[in-house]
Amino acid sequence: MRATLIISNDRHHAGIARPVGRELLARGHRVTVLSLCELRGTSTPTELLMADGFEVRRVMPRVRREKGARADSGRDRLRSRVARKVVWRVLELLSKDVLLGSDVVLLMNDHAYPYLDLAQGLLGHGVPFVLAQEGVRFSMPQEDETQFYGRGGAHFVAVWGETSAEHFETRGTPRSRIRVTGCPRFDDFDPAPYRTAAAELAKKLELEGKTLLGYFSNLVDMQGFCTTRERIELFGRFLDGVRPLLEDDPNLRIGLRLHPAEDPSDFVQILETRPFAGQRVIDANKYELFPLILNCRAVVVLSSTIGLEAGLVDRPVGVVEMPGHGYAHDYVDLGIGRPLSWSEPLAPQVAHLLGSFADESRAAREEYVRRSLRRDGPAARQIADVLEDAARLGRPSIPAQVFRTIDRVRSA
C-alpha cells in the first residue's frame, strides 16, 4: 500500500503524521509526506521526516505568509484571491503524481484552503482519503451547512475522543464513518519527563520567585473571528488590561507564544508602544510546548488546542473573548476556561485566573481531558488501521450532491 500523508504545519500536523507514518512503514507500506508547510507560512521539517524513512515532497520552496480570512482591505482580499488561484495551480501540478499514485491519503483538514480543493480532487479521481482531526473542534463564524469540517467526503474521520465524535455527528458526518482513535501527539503522554525540561527552562528564563502567565496566540483571523490587524491588537488590548497587575507585581511575566505562521515583528510593534510591558514579556516561541506550559501559573488562549494541552498538565485556562463572537471552543461552556471579557476590567479577571480558579476548575479539567482524548491504546496504530480499511474499500461511492456542494463552495 502506498500512503500519502499531507501536512501544512511543522508542529501539530507533523506530530500526528510522523507516528502514523512510522507505524505504516513498520507494516511494510510505502509512505510519502506531501508538505504544504511553506504554503501556510511555516517550514517543512524535512530532516526529521527523512530520518523517519519517508519520501518527502514540498509544494513550495520557501515560506509564504498568509493573509487572514478577513483581510484588512479590498486590495489585500484581491491579492489573496489571485495568489490562491496561482498557488493552487502550482500545487496541482507538483502533487498530481503523488496523490493519484496513492492507495490512500491522510488529510488533516477538508474545508480550509487548499484542503477543500484537495478533497474535491481526490474524490474526483477516486482516491480514498481519511480525515485525521488536527485539533479540538468548535463552530467558526464563517461556517455554513456546506463548509463543515468533516463533510469533505472522507471514507473515515479519525477523531480524538467522544466530544469530537459528537461534534462531527451533529454537523452531518455519519457515525459509521467516525472512528475514535485518539491523537498520536498524546500517545503514552507522561508529564514526568517534561518536568525535568521545565526545571531547566525555568533556570534559563530566570523564573525563580516569578509568576509566568502564558499568552498563546493563533490565527483567529484565518478562522473568521477578526481581521489580521485585530488579531494582533488583541494582544495589545490584553497588555493594557493587565497593566494594573504588572504594576502591582514586579515578578509577573507574560510568556508570548505565537502560531508558526504569525509574524513576530507585528507583536514587536505592539510592545514598542507599551514601554510598561516591554521588559515583562518573554518571547516563548522557541521553547518546547509542555515545559513552557508547566512553567506557567495559567495559560490564556484565543481559539486553540492549548486549552486541552494545559489540562493534561493541570494548568488553568483563560479564554479571551472574540469581539462580536464570544468564546471559541467549549472551554468556557464546560467550566474549564475562565472567560476573559472585554465588557469589564480585565485585571481582576486575570487575577482570579492566576489565583483560585485553578482549584475551582480542576474537576472540570479532568473530565474534559477524559472525554476529549482517547488514551487506551496507541493512536498511531488506530489511525494506521483506519487507513488500511479505507484503502481496502477503494473508490468512494459519493452521491452527486456532495460533488455539487463542493463545487459550490469552491466557486464561492
pLDDT at 398 over 60: no
Which strands, in side-by-side order, build the sheet including 211-216? 281-283, 252-257, 211-216, 298-301, 317-320, 337-340
**394: confidence class by pLDDT, cuts 50, 70, 90:** confident
pLDDT at 80 over 70: no
Question: Where along the chain do its domains lie?
Answer: 2-186+375-411, 191-371
- Bigger pLDDT: 169 vs 39: 169
CATH 3.40.50.2000 at 2-186+375-411, yes or no: yes
Output the nine-digit C-alpha cell for 197.
Answer: 525540561
pLDDT tens column, 248-276: 999 999 999 999 889 999 999 999 999 99
According to the model, what pLDDT value does residue 409 have?
A: 43
My answer on whether omega of the bond before 323 falls inside 30° of 0, hence cis, is no
pLDDT tens column, 189-243: 888 989 999 999 999 999 999 999 999 999 999 888 999 999 999 999 999 999 9
- Bigger pLDDT: 278 vs 22: 22
Mean pLDDT confidence for 95-108: 87
Local structure of 218: helix, strand or coil: coil
> Average model confidence (pLDDT) for the chain?
87
**410: confidence class by pLDDT, cuts 50, 70, 90:** very low
pLDDT at 73 over 70: no
According to the model, what pLDDT value does residue 111 have?
A: 67
CATH 3.40.640.10 at 191-371, yes or no: no
Instruction: Name the burial class of residue 412, with classes exposed (0-12), middle (13-18) and buried (19+) by CB atoms within 10 angstroms of its CB.
Output: exposed
Report CA torsion sign: 240, 245, 246, 251: negative
Nearest to 305 by CA among 157, 133, 162, 48: 133
pLDDT at 67 over 60: no
pLDDT tens column, 143-163: 655 556 777 889 999 999 998
The H-assigned helical ranges of 7-154 are: 12-26, 46-51, 74-100, 115-124
Report yes or no: 139 and 333 within 8 Å, Cβ to Cβ. no
